[in-house]
Amino acid sequence: MSLLTINNLSVQFETAGATVPVLDRIDFEVAAGDHIALIGESGCGKTVLGMSVMRLLPPNARITGAIRYAGSDLLQVAEREMQQIRGRGIALISQNSVSSLNPVVRIGDQIAESLSLHTQYRGDDLRHEVIRLLAELGIEQPEESVQKFPHQFSGGMRERILVAMALACNPDIIIADEPTTGLDALVKVQILRLLKKAMQGRTLLLITHDLGTAFTLASRTAVMYAGEILECGPTSEVFSHPRHPYTQGLLASSPSAGFHPIPGLSPAPGQVPSGCRFCPRCSCAMDTCRSLHPHLKETGRGRRVRCFRYD
Ligand SMILES: Nc1ncnc2c1ncn2[C@@H]1O[C@H](COP(=O)(O)OP(=O)(O)O)[C@@H](O)[C@H]1O
Ligand SMILES: [Mg+2]
């Protein structure tokens, strides 16, 4: 059963003198219990997609399409209703742990605020629940830690605090945006292990440019490029038998595959080629790819690919 359904979602930004398209007709579903990763190079629109679902895009964003959750279209509901959904229905672990925690509010108070907004915990019960959450997420000395400010924690510990805040209200869906970016290798492994455990029985939309993170945490993967999905399917199959030349290039560019970067750069928003968006960088491009824009086609076994080679 689909918990979150994104239909025909497009986002454009109004900037000085121009309207810049950033997401183009995105369709995908997140089923209950799914762990789905959105991967792709930076700038392809992953964070904008997550922020669209949370309805937290800046005022210069123009969104069209539909985001269905719990019987409503999130793009149509009143802001008051959206405030109830954020945190309790859909929680976001945002991209930058430094800027997403309030620097002048003690950690315990930040978690308690979210809990008291969406749950019945009050007084001592509230305090105990905050401490329990910090302990569950492996924060040392949780009784003392609640008194501390964000700058008193390392990057890895701040990431754990963000996970604790996201789990606080037991949301239906957790969106984790680049949860391992900027962490050193050892801390990254710890956070991955922790997330893997914490997400058991939950629904996760993971946003990452890190293939290892997607491979570890997600059962399904969607590959994004220049504002559209180029390929999706079960993670094990997408990683072992990538179909789209872009996915093949991404995998070959990872350090474990010998670090062979894809030549060229992703197109800037608003400057995408009219045919296949990946065509200028694709070693298998045909004439058709330069003139026609491919659709995302079913290729069997839950896989879809946007490439004329699979017609
Ligand atoms: N407020 C904004 N105004 C104009 N362009 C934006 C804005 N926010 C993001 N963008 C552009 O949208 C594109 C996608 O950004 P983003 O979703 O952050 O990429 P990523 O895949 O790295 O998370 C980028 O080209 C970025 O510059
Ligand atoms: Mg991002």
Tell me 237's DSSP state.
Answer: H
Q: What's residue 58's pLDDT?
A: 97
As a whole number of angstroms, the distance between CA 308 and CA 292 comes to 9
277-299 per-residue burial string, b: 16 or more CB within 10 A, e: under 16? bbbbbbeebeeebeeebbebeee
- How big is the CA angle at 308 (ends 306 and 311), to the nearest 5 degrees? 100
Contact call for residues 206 and 217 (beta carbons, < 8 A): yes
Q: Look at ligand 1, atom 20, and give the residue with the nearest C-alpha.
A: 43
Structure confidence by residue, pLDDT tens digits, 214-239: 999 999 999 999 999 999 999 999 99
| Rounded Cα distance, 91 and 113, in Å | 14
Give the 3-state secondary structure of residue 34.
coil
- Structure tokens belonging to residue 197: 């455990």
Residue 128 is predicted with a pLDDT of: 96
Alpha helix locations (H) across the chain?
Answer: 46-54, 79-88, 97-100, 107-118, 123-136, 142-145, 155-167, 185-198, 211-217, 235-240, 245-252, 287-291
Give the ligand at the shortest distance from the Cα of 182. 2
Domain 2-89+169-310: assigned CATH number:
3.40.50.300
Global pTM value: 0.96
CA of 226 to the centre of ligand 2 (A): 13
- 125-155, pLDDT tens digit by residue? 999 999 999 999 999 999 999 999 999 999 9
What confidence score (pLDDT) does residue 35 get? 98
Q: Report pLDDT for 141.
A: 95
- Predicted local confidence at residue 82, as pLDDT: 97
The answer to whether 221 and 233 have CB atoms below 8 angstroms apart is yes
Predicted local distance difference test score (pLDDT) of residue 215: 97
| Backbone φ, ψ for residue 9 (5° rounding) | -80, 120
State if residue 50 touches ligand 1 by the CB under 6 angstroms criterion: no
Q: What is the pLDDT of residue 121?
A: 94
10-residue block means of pLDDT along the chain (311 residues)?
96 94 96 97 96 97 97 97 95 86 95 90 96 93 96 92 92 96 91 94 97 97 98 98 97 87 92 95 96 96 96 86
Q: Report which bound ligand comes closest to the CA of 45.
A: 1
Query: At a CB cut-off of 8 Å and minimum separation 6, what does 42 contact?
Result: 209
State whether the beta carbon of 58 lies less than 6 angstroms from ligand 1.
yes
Q: Which of 9, 30, 182 is nearest to 98 (CA)?
A: 182
Q: Which ligand 1 atom is nearest residue 207's CA?
A: 23
| Distance (Å) from CA 221 to ligand 1 centroid | 21
Pocket probe for ligand 1: among 47, 49, 209, 250, the residue whose CB has the most ligand atoms within 8 Å is: 47
What are the φ and ψ backbone dihedral angles of 19, each rounded to 5 degrees? -105, 120
Contacts of 133 (CB under 8 A, 6+ apart): 111, 164, 167, 168
Which atom of ligand 1 lies nearest, measured to the CA of 40? 21
Q: Is residue 51 within 6 Å of ligand 1 at its C-beta?
A: no
Per-domain residue ranges of the chain:
2-89+169-310
Q: Which ligand 1 atom sits nearest the alpha carbon of residue 178?
A: 23
46 contact partners, CB below 8 Å, separation of at least 6: 38, 39, 40, 177, 207, 208, 209, 224
Q: What is the pLDDT of residue 299?
A: 94
Give the pLDDT confidence score for residue 117 in this predicted structure.
87
What is the reported pLDDT for 129?
Answer: 95
